[in-house]
């Protein structure tokens, strides 16, 4: 929520913080923008970090299994 909360607060000032409807629509408008960004960042992290960690773990595992058999 480092970037999302200021965005939500900005939209809440536009829609009005005084009413429940204004709070709701400010929250919705902020999340309509921030949700695709969250999905994109998660995808990039998965491709660049997670997949490489899994490949490295598999490589280490294969080397350890080979070492223990010999």
Tokens coding 57: 């773990």
Supply the pLDDT for residue 40: 95
Tokens coding 26: 């400010």
Supply the pLDDT for residue 49: 96
CA distances from 26 to 11, 35, 36, 64 (A): 5, 14, 17, 54
Supply the pLDDT for residue 17: 83
Question: Alpha helices of the chain — where are they, by DSSP H?
Answer: 4-15, 20-45, 51-69
Supply the pLDDT for residue 70: 57
Closest CA to 37 of 61, 7, 69: 7
- For the chain, the structural domain boundaries read 4-69
Tell me the whole-structure pTM to 2 decimals. Answer: 0.67
Separation CA 58–CA 50 (nearest Å): 12
Supply the pLDDT for residue 69: 66
pLDDT tens sequence across 17-41: 888 999 999 999 999 999 999 999 9
């Amino acid at each position: 929520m480092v970037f999302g909360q200021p965005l939500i607060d900005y939209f809440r000032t536009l829609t009005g913080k005084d009413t429940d409807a204004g709070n709701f629509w400010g929250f919705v408008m902020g999340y309509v923008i921030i949700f695709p960004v969250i999905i994109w960042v998660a995808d990039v992290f998965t491709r660049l970090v997670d997949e490489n960690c899994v490949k490295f773990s598999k490589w280490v595992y294969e080397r350890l299994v080979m070492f223990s058999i010999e």
